[in-house]
Amino acid sequence: MNSFMTENTVRNINFDYIFNEIKPITEYGIKAKLEAKPYIKGQEADLKTEFNKIRAFIENRQRREIIDILRHIKNILETIQRARSNQVLDEVELFEIKNFLILVEKLDKVLRGISDNDIELLQLTPLPRLYEKLDPAYEKLSTFYIYDEYSQKLKEIRNKKRQIEKTVSLLKKKIKEEIQEKHSIKLNLKDEITISKSQKERIEELNKEGGLRVSGENYLNIIYKLKNTDEIDEYEKFYEELTFDEDEEEYRIRQDISGSIKKDSHILQENTKIIGQIDYLIAKANYAQKTRSVEPTITDELEITIKGGRNLKLEKTLKDKHLEYVPIDLMLNKNVVCITGANMGGKTVTLRMTGQIAAMASFGMFVPCDYAKLCLFEHIFISAGDDQSIEKGLSTFGAEIVNLKEAIKNSDRRCLILIDELAGGTNPKEGYAITKAVVNYLKNKDCITLLTTHYDNVANDKDIQNLQVKGLRLPDEADLIKIDNIGQVQKYMDYRLIEVKYSSDIPKDALKIARMAGIDGEIIKDAERFL
């Protein structure tokens, strides 16, 4: 993201918050999200296709069915890689591949039911032949084991083992019944019996029994267990040999299936990529619905038009406090637009909202407003102070200058530059001078610049658009409202923007806010003398 937006920009426009709210289900979707790149100038058609897909998922009821399928899809990339490196997959891994193929087939059927040309670009490739290889018994179940149907040899081995198990079971049952009847005892399911050492006569009797052996002993008891006959030993020896043959045959079968998976590994991997894209698209569709976001209109012209725009992070914060967010209308083009207005008037909010909406559109997301029309940028930049830089030893102004240098360097590219209260922390005379000079420099560049300032006369140029925050909506100052918390000012502030022609003076609401907060009236009166 660094070439398109710096970490400072991502943080300041709250795009990190937005990105974290996009929540794919599968590991493939998470990977697609992390690898997502912005659409830049020249990729307008590709972005419109992306929007079409999101809209299709929003409008189709099958989205819920797709989500249910995605919840069951596991990561098989490591298994695919093992098959590619000629390793023999175990039964768990083969189960994972089989289950993946079942879910791919289900997902493919659902996608084919969505009549949208752009969704058709997300075509999966079912692998019926590979699936049959993993389900030779045609059970159509999401389970896997090495079926008898894989080979006649395997079937014969297992039949012999089953016959031995049956024969040995009958022989042991007969011996057990004879011993129990002879000694009037009851062997448990493990063919064992525990005798207390106090029963000396019983112990002496059982020690003479050739069909029993001592399998355990402690200071209180002796444990006797049914003893195999020579015939049973021969059967069990043969059984072990058959088990070895069975393991060898199962290994050969797993090796054969692993080879088939290797042959189709590129298709399997491509399917994981498409699933990731689908998952990420649906995550964006879900978020669009959750935030009441709309599809923006993408234009080739250097412009941004926003109606009813919202900063999603701030809106959530205000909602949690039971406060209302005031949507903002904004029109920008190839020039510098200055936003002036009172402190606490929402200028910074508007700045960040603009960057947020532009970034969301660039990353193929619907945007939080009633309507948006904007172009694609090669770079989005914001200078809004950097606390991290301050911690590194730079002053607020120093950090601003470092950030501004990056914006100026990229101003000949098609970019969006957002500047918040430049030089607010330095000498007012010099601060005004540098702000005015930056505005004059950027107004002729191939970019859109949105700048907030508290300095007078920055926008007194016919080429510079000046937007002004309406400011405080108060009753008669004689009956001025008192507040207990500075945050309550929000209730009385009108954040809407109005265009002002060649205005030099910025509204002065600072004293009103100070009066509302309860600053001594004598101080307020004295301050008014200096205005």
What residues does each domain of the chain span? 17-146+253-288, 152-236, 296-506
**CA of 278: how far to CAs of 56, 101, 167, 519, in Å?**
11, 16, 56, 57
Which pLDDT score, from 0 to 100, does residue 493 have?
59
Task: Give the phi and the psi of residue 480 in degrees, each rounded to 5.
Answer: -55, 135
pLDDT at 171 > cutoff 60: yes
pLDDT exceeds 50 at position 262: yes
| pLDDT at 478 (0 to 100) | 44
Tell me what pLDDT residue 490 has.
58
pLDDT at 479 over 60: no
Greater model confidence, 430 or 289: 289
Confidence of residue 241 (pLDDT cuts 50, 70, 90): very high
The encoded tokens of residue 403 equal 């950030």
Bridge partners (DSSP) listed for residue 250: none
The yes-or-no verdict on residue 499 having pLDDT over 80 is no
pLDDT for the residue 387: 46
In which band, very low, low, confident or very high, does the pLDDT at 264 lie, cut at 50, 70 and 90?
A: very high
CATH class assigned to 296-506 = alpha beta
**So what's the pLDDT on residue 500?**
72
Q: pLDDT digits over 269-302, tens only?
A: 999 999 999 999 999 999 999 999 999 999 999 9
Q: For position 408, what pLDDT does the model report?
A: 82
Q: Let me know if 502 is exposed, middle or buried by CB neighbors in 10 A (0-12, 13-18, 19+).
A: exposed
Q: Which of 156-160, 315-319, 420-424 has the highest mean pLDDT?
A: 156-160
* Residue 317, CA distances (Å) to 109, 284, 322, 326, 491 in order: 42, 21, 9, 13, 15
Decide whether 17-146+253-288 matches 296-506 in CATH topology: no
17-146+253-288: CATH topology: MutS, DNA mismatch repair protein; Chain A, domain 3 (1.10.1420)
Distance of CA 233 to the CA centre of its chain: 60
Predicted confidence (pLDDT) at residue 391 exceeds the cutoff of 50: no
- Check residues 389 and 121 and name the one with the higher pLDDT: 121
pTM of the model: 0.82
If you average pLDDT over residues 374-387, what whole number do you get?
82
Helices and strands, counts by H and E, the chain: 19, 13
Residue 520 has pLDDT above 60, yes or no: no
Is 90 exceeded by the pLDDT of residue 523? no
Residue with tokens 């993201």: 1
User: Can you tell me the distance from the alpha carbon of 270 to that of 282, in angstroms, rounded to the nearest whole number?
Assistant: 18
Task: With beta carbons less than 8 A apart as the criterion, state whether 483 and 489 touch.
Answer: yes
